[in-house]
């Protein structure tokens, strides 16, 4: 980074890396490309195993009671 005077004002010149405040390596992109699918798979596994375990949650019993209460009496 260096300073120059242009028409009585300070002008600061910085390199591309300094302007970005980052490195030029591709490590950040690679970490994101690996971690995003891992997070998606992890959340998908949580959803799948959550659907497989609904028999233990009692949700079916509650839905059955609600259907029985809302059915018209004949």
Q: What distance in Å separates the CA atoms of residue 5 and residue 43, rounded to the nearest whole number?
A: 56
pLDDT beyond 80 at 43: yes
pTM over 0.85: no
Q: How many CA atoms lie within 13 A of 38 on its CB side?
A: 6
Distance between first and last Cα of the chain: 86
Tokens 């970005």, residue?
20
Per the model's pLDDT, the better-predicted residue between 31 and 16 turns out to be 31
What are φ and ψ of residue 24, in 5° steps?
A: -95, 10
Q: Report in angstroms the alpha-carbon separations of 74 from 4, 5, 54, 70.
A: 92, 93, 32, 12
The reported pLDDT for the residue numbered 74 is: 57
pLDDT in tens, 16-27: 777 777 666 788
């Amino acid at each position: 980074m260096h300073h120059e005077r242009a028409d009585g004002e300070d002008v600061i010149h910085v390199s591309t890396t300094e302007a970005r405040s980052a490195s030029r390596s591709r490590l950040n992109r690679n970490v994101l490309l690996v971690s995003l699918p891992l997070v998606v798979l992890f959340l998908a596994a949580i959803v799948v195993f959550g659907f497989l375990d609904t028999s233990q949650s009692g949700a079916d019993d509650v839905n059955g009671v609600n259907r029985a209460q809302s059915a018209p009496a004949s």
